[in-house]
Structure 1
Amino acid sequence: MGIEQRWAAFFRWGPYALLLIATLVAVSTVRLIGMTVGEMYATGGLVLGAIGLQLWWGAAGTTRPGPSVAGTAYYFLRWAVAFALTWLNPFFAFYAAVGYFGAERLLPRRLVRIGLLANAVTMAGSQSGGLPPHGPVGWVVFGAVFAVNVALLTVFSHLAAQEDERARVQAATIIELGLTNDRLQAALDENAALHAQLLVQAREAGVADERRRLAAEIHDTIAQGLTGIITQLEVVSLANGQDTAREHLARAQELARHSLGEARRSVQNLSPVALADDSLPEAVKKLVDEWSAAAGVPAELTVTGTVEPLHDEVEATLLRIAQEALANTARHAGAGRVGVTLSFMDDEMTLDVRDDGRGFDPHAVAPRSTSGGFGLGGMRARAERIAGTVVVESEPGYGTAVSARVPLVRHPLVRRP
């Protein structure tokens, strides 16, 4: 049983128990008090009236929770009966004590203090020897006892008010905690839904990114390899001597093998074949030399800065950009000379591919979407994937310069000195 249920039981049955105790004590002290027959009859009538009043409130009080007119009437009628009984026999103070309990439940706030003071008068009269006080000394004793009752009443009322305030704050805190928990649960549910949505979007983005990667790899490896093979076969078809034909057929076979290896590595998401055994400068050097031999255009690689092993993704990105830039030069520039510069700096890498070809107006070229285009758009997309940039500078008649700038991310197994 909770505290509220126990108090409800006391307010319902407590007055009966206290009235019974007071009646038994009063009956046993009739001769001690010196009650007359008339006073005994009056006492009996008042006891019956108290019982009737309590029966009425037991039926009516359940429909009037909290302060009300009926509760006020019940409280002061009960006080009047207790006062009269205590006047006749001081031991009925046992019953009068019930007035100290539940005043806040029965009376409006403005009448609570009045009700408690009235009850203190009854209790002080009983404790000072009965009402009315006898002589000046009796009145002095009554006044002193009344003052003590009022002081105790003030202290206990203050403590009760503090307890009520504490209970109110605790109740408000519990309500606020409940609301906070509800909001937290709602936030957790929302976060869970967002997490699920992000997983779906990440999965879709991963699929799209993989498609773009494969498309770019096919463009940079297989498509360029097939283009080279076709070029070599065209030369074979026009060659007059068997030695020349054999040389170009051998070159076509080597291109086919190289393209097949690149295709397999692209599917398996591995580094380019050229980076399998060589560092980035060595791979770019071989690329420049092979391109120069195939295109018939002088090309030279310059490496500046301190060469360091780079992260596989950085090396693969720069090599693919170099391949695409040289392929564009062979297809469009009509250059007489090409220079490639690979620069190692403190926190970034640059790759510059310059030619003295016919040039073009970069603003006149329709931009392709970096999500699906190749050529210049593909180079930019590759660089942006690792937080880099690609800048193209060109002017008709004055050649072209492609500059790729990416963060210098060292290989995870290499420690910087």
Structure 2
Amino acid sequence: MHASFFLLLAVALARFLMRHSHDERSPWIVALSVVVALVYGIGLVRGVAERATVGQRVWLTLVVVVWVVLTVLAPSFAWCAVPLFYTGLRTLPTRAALVLVGLLAVLVILAQLRLAGRLDPDLLLGPPTVVVIATAVFLQMERQAARQRRLIDDLIRTRRELAASERREGTLAERQRLSMEIHDTLAQGLSSQQMLLQAAQRVWEADPGKARAHVGTAASIAEHNLTEARRFVHDLAPADLARGLAEALRAVAARESGDRLTVQVRVDDDGRADRLPDRVQSALLRIAQGALANVREHSGAGSAVLTLTLLDDQVVLDVADDGCGFDPAALPAGASGVRGHGIPAIRARVRQLGGTLTLESAPGEGAVVSAAIPLTPATGARPRGSAPDPAAQTPQGLENTDPNRSPPT
């Protein structure tokens, strides 16, 4: 409709100049045409025509007033009223829009009668009929669109409430399960250890043999509790890692791929990625999920490449996209994130493992998020076919996978 206004204005001006090139009104007609075109164009450029504000009504009033003057001077400009009908219906309240449409229709009829030079029933009945039909259709479509918007809003709100309810129920169920597991295993075991150690303390001097038996039983219970704790940690690890890190990354890429985004996965690990510690594999998987979520939600990219490279001294995860990019140097110090809230979480995970996070991007040139995690003796994967190194065990007792070894103090 906006384009048709400029087209009709140009056609009316050309028609007037062709028929009245030497008319004394010509300079005024040309000047007023330029004015109304500039006012209309400025309103579009500044977005006034699309916002229901006081400025929009002032803009529409100014356009209509200049158009009325043009139509009085040159009736051929009357057909510019057609896009003004719809502009008024879209921007004004219904009653005010109907009043404006009625006034515009009357001016069109008078202008056409003036051009015809005689009283023509077609000119008296045709334009009002067209205006009534067009207005009724527009108002009906607006009501249907409003009902659809309300329905969509209700569906979105219901879906969010249902998802939140399901998350709450799932969280409560998982908390209840863990609390029962901890109570029935770890808590009971710790209580038994406490009683055995207290009993050993009471008889330590009177019956050393019995005291040592109590301590031995407490140590056996501690070992059992350690096994249960390892089971909890294993159960809470990402489910995708059950098939290995490489397959887990491919599964994440498949979930993030869709109509607008294609994600490719490249793995160069010589088959050693699955021997990385669980916490490193879990961190790499979460980093990939966060980076791809940023790509999907903020970059507008059509393709992304996820690359996992396992070197001798570090493991590197790169996520590159061909999206809109950004300027890392323009970020203020202490910014909460880049293209969303995923970068701070990624940076925290990398920092916990002693690694580094690198952001490479420029506006319009895509972005690369690179996470490098060092393979220290505590985190590194063993070379293929080599025996486990006792010194390579992590200091945390929960990550000690040998049930016959006591955790280091």
TM-score calculated relative to the size of structure 2: 0.39
Larger Rg computed on CA atoms:
1
